Amino acid sequence: MKLKSVGLVAGLALLISAGLAKAEQYRLGLITPPSHQWSVQGQVAADRIKEATEGRVEIMLFPSGQLGSEAQMLQQLQTGALDFAWLTVGEFANRDANYGVFLAPYLVTDIEGAKKALQGPTAQKLLADMNRFGVVGIGWSSAGMRTIDVRGTVSEVGDLKGKKIRTVPNAPELDFWIALGAAPTPMPLPALYDALANGQVDGAQLDHEGTWNTKYYDHLGTILDSRHMMFPMVAVASGRKWQTIAEGDRAIVQEIMRETFGSIIDTYGELDNRYMADLQTTDVPVVSVDRAWFGPAIDKWYEDWRVKAPVLVDLEAELSAQ
């Protein structure tokens, strides 16, 4: 009799745990609007993951910073209040300068270069080390190359002096703009449209995709096609939540997300040029500039950041050996 009830309890426990493993809804936060590639491809990945796990892992997307800024999302990931996020490197670079090395100006000049940097050993080591922030690094991807949008006319680098330029809230971007004599104004992406429209900022460091899709060009006098920085995306899971997902399902999530990251990067090779061509149909002049146009500010940036973030030296060596 006793044995029978033990068996019953064990059977019940098995049933309950199988039931729990059956279907779970997870939340994935993003700062990008629904039209952005990260959000679009995030949905593609979520649909594929749901299908491949037969509904056991259903991921719901929350774009446009609906769950808060990236700083807030990182806190939620750490407590387990949020399950996944596709983030810029900003919050990680603010905790460890080494995560800022991908934002080195003209470290790479196109998406192919960005892809190499993000697939190399330095990037993979930084990804693996993310567990010290309470998250699990799933993989790297990228947005388009960084460009510069300005309300007034800019024909030489000196015209940027004193201008309030919106940046992502992170140290490497701030230092770049300080070296140029501008006044960097950190601001999350969802706040940018109004700030540009009402003149709270004079310009922004952004990409052609956002400039076109969000119609920032309505308020611009010059678009600088500078492509001066790559802009990584890192996909992370809450360390606490990740452990609760069955091993086989974790492997599926990882594999599908990583495949998606590869196609996002490849897409930007074409998208950066397509959006630039679109922008050329507006009344705003698009001016192409290169590293030399920025003058000595970039050398100064490297001088400082090779000390602040020693991993930069490894990454430079890795890229020049390729």
Choice between 252 and 276, CB closer to ligand BEZ: 276
Residues 6+ apart with CB under 8 A from 284: 217, 220, 221, 222, 223
Q: Between 184 and 210, whose beta carbon lies closer to ligand BEZ?
A: 210
Give the C-alpha separation, 219 to 197, whole Å: 6
Q: Minimum distance from CB of 128 to ligand BEZ (Å)?
A: 23
Residues 110-149, one symbol each (x = binds ligand BEZ by CB under 6 A, - = not), give ---------------------------------x------
Tell me: does residue 45 bind ligand BEZ (CB under 6 A): no
88 binds ligand BEZ (CB under 6 A): yes
User: Of 251, 292, 2, 8, which Cα lies nearest the Cα of 157?
Assistant: 292
The string over 112-151, giving b where at least 16 C-beta atoms fall within 10 Å of a residue's C-beta and e elsewhere, is: ebbbebbebebbeebbeebeebbbbbbbbbbbbbbbbbbb
Asked if 189 is part of the footprint of ligand BEZ (rule: CB under 6 A), the reply reads: yes
Among 111, 150, 171, 206, contact with ligand BEZ (rule: CB under 6 A): 206
Identity of the residue, 83 or 173, whose beta carbon is nearer to ligand BEZ in the bound complex:
173
Q: How far is the CB of 82 from ligand BEZ (least distance, A)?
A: 17
For the chain, the first-to-last Cα distance in angstroms comes to 71
Provide the total of helices (H) and of strands (E) in the chain, helices listed first: 13, 11
**Interface pick for ligand BEZ out of 31, 89, 111, 298 (rule CB under 6 A):** 31
Q: Which residues bind ligand BEZ (CB under 6 A)?
A: 31-32, 88, 143, 168, 189, 206-207, 210
